[in-house]
Structure 1
Amino acid sequence: MLLLHGVRSDRTQMLGRARFLNRAGYAALLIDLPGHGQSTGDRITFGAREAAGVKAALEFLRRESPGERIAVIGVSLGAAAAVLALPSPAPDAVVLESMYPTIEDAVANRLTMVLGPAGAVLAGPLLWQLPLRAGVSTDDLRPLERIACLGAPVLLASGAQDRHTTWAETEQLFDAAAGPKELWRVEGAGHVDLHAYGPGAYERQVLGFLAKYLRSEG
């Protein structure tokens, strides 16, 4: 299992998941994505350059554990990085939590939360600065356009009350994803750590999904 944390966090965010996965018999690799924790990098790029860390970690796992099935759990930024990486070969299963569909949606949602309807209008001028501030373009940050090419079974999860990535946006991502795919709506949850929000439900949902693709013979 490769576990990928959210923005401005580090690998310790994923310790709770690592512990329950270990109890269920899975080995877990926790990494600091580029620009986070102890990893090098002077800019947060919302998944674009962080994707290189995902590729490197998957290459490490395949090299160290040849023949083993590999899955990824990514949270928010980590989820986007996993999709934008488009790793080849693809993982055997992927869990994507609270992932934005496009950077335009992500910025507009966050500004609207703070400023009201005017926030959506201000998103454009802010995004124009993205190449200067982060060294990437909006075209680099559209998981919605990449998810169909992921090449792995996917579980999409998000909070029903998430205002950073709305439920309608999560449904958009689900519709765009290729099968096999599953969708999990976490009632009452916002843009929060879904495992910490409801550990029992989370573990049942995720372990059930993983068992289909990591432990089945087909």
Structure 2
Amino acid sequence: MTAKASNTKKVAYGVFIFLFLLYLSVSLFSYQESVLIQTHQGVSHLDEEKNNGSFNTEWLDKVDREDFSVTSDLGYTLKGSWLKVPENKYNLTMVMVHGVTHDRWRMMRYAQIYLKNGIDVVLYDHRKHGLSGGNEVSFGFFESQDLDKIVHWTRKQRPQHLIGAHGESLGAATVCMHSGKNEESHSVNFYISDCAFSDTKELLVLRAKEDFGMPNIGFVGTTSLVAKLRAGFYFGDASPRTRVAQSKVPFLFIHGKSDTYIPKEMSEEMYQMKSQGSKFIWLVENAEHAKSITVAPTKYENKVMEFINTVISQINN
């Protein structure tokens, strides 16, 4: 081998090592920023939500609150609160599913709609959020399994009730993920999805570009492998659209038209992919991510209750 060929080989080897280390470092950073994201775990946000006026605190005073714990299939504890109205007018309980970095009390701004209309509410903290256990965010994969445990707990408390699940952002993706599993258990009668993402890999590619200026040259795929090795799931395992396509129960999709964090096209895609069971979609003018209820609170309540009344009428007939 000539000296020139030897040097060329060394350069190629050096480039390979550099690229490998670059991919590894970026993938570990991406894993830290997505799966191990800071969620303020161990802290309740109830006082924060009360202080920022996100909901009418009188509703907590008007209902019977029972805090509870459920053990996930992975061994950690899920913490929740059951809010029972004096008279349930619909024989219905709504399970509320919050977004990333928040906790159960974020969903009180939606839950007050149900309490106001005589409907019981179950709130709970996701894994790695609030007072629940768990070490990673899995974009709806393990979260949907936890939701199933909460739903079955709820079913035991109210065996004669209909059960609906209402989620925001990650919580919305979680209810979408659960909708496929629900075809086996038939435990949830309908879903409301507010600003869900339709596919984890596509969302992370978008966020990497928007947040860090990072082009799609394979880092998300490498990070997915890291997630599988360290947390037990591939990003491809968390694809809400594939589960929604399997679902046969009614769905209401809500998304802000001005959402730049999770584009409205993701909800529109899932709406189109759902081919079985009734489906509705409401795209909210001038609403950014998770702001539909803030931009149009009265219309939000009307849309939700109209959907519920339609679903209950379908079930009764």
| TM-score (norm. length: structure 2) | 0.64
| Cα distance in 1 between the residues matched to 2:230 and 2:260 | 25
- The answer to whether 1:120 aligns with 2:216 is yes
Match of 1:176 among 259, 270, 273: 273
| Cα distance in 2 between the residues matched to 1:33 and 1:115 | 27
- The answer to whether 1:195 aligns with 2:288 is no
Q: Could you list the runs of 5+ residues in structure 1 that have no partner in the other structure?
A: none
Match of 1:16 among 102, 109, 114: 109
Displacement of 1:46: 1.2
Q: Is the 8 A contact 1:75 1:98 kept in 2?
A: yes
- The answer to whether 1:79 aligns with 2:172 is yes
- Supply the AA of the counterpart residue of 1:26: I
- Supply the AA of the counterpart residue of 1:94: Y
Match of 1:149 among 246, 254, 273: 246
Displacement of 1:185: 0.4
Q: Mapping of 1:1-218 within 5 angstroms?
A: 1-85=94-178, 86-87=181-182, 88-116=185-213, 118-121=214-217, 122-177=219-274, 178-214=276-312, 217-218=316-317
| Cα distance in 1 between the residues matched to 2:166 and 2:289 | 16
Displacement of 1:139: 2.5
Q: Secondary structure at the match of 1:100?
A: coil
How many percent identity over aligned positions?
A: 26
Displacement of 1:49: 0.9
Q: Is the 8 A contact 1:156 1:174 kept in 2?
A: yes
Displacement of 1:199: 1.1
| Cα distance in 1 between the residues matched to 2:126 and 2:248 | 22
Q: Greater Rg, structure 1 or structure 2?
A: 2
Q: Deviations over 1:27-46 (max 9, x none)?
A: 11101122211111111111
| TM-score (norm. length: structure 1) | 0.91
Aligned residues: 217
Q: Could you list the runs of 5+ residues in structure 2 that have no partner in the other structure?
A: 1-93
| Cα distance in 2 between the residues matched to 1:65 and 1:49 | 25
Q: Is the 8 A contact 2:151 2:187 kept in 1?
A: no
| Cα distance in 2 between the residues matched to 1:214 and 1:14 | 23
| Cα distance in 2 between the residues matched to 1:16 and 1:168 | 25
Q: Which structure has more RCO (C-alpha within 8 Å, separation ≥ 6)?
A: 1
Q: Is the 8 A contact 1:113 1:163 kept in 2?
A: no
- The residue aligned with 2:83 is none
Q: Is the 8 A contact 2:169 2:196 kept in 1?
A: yes
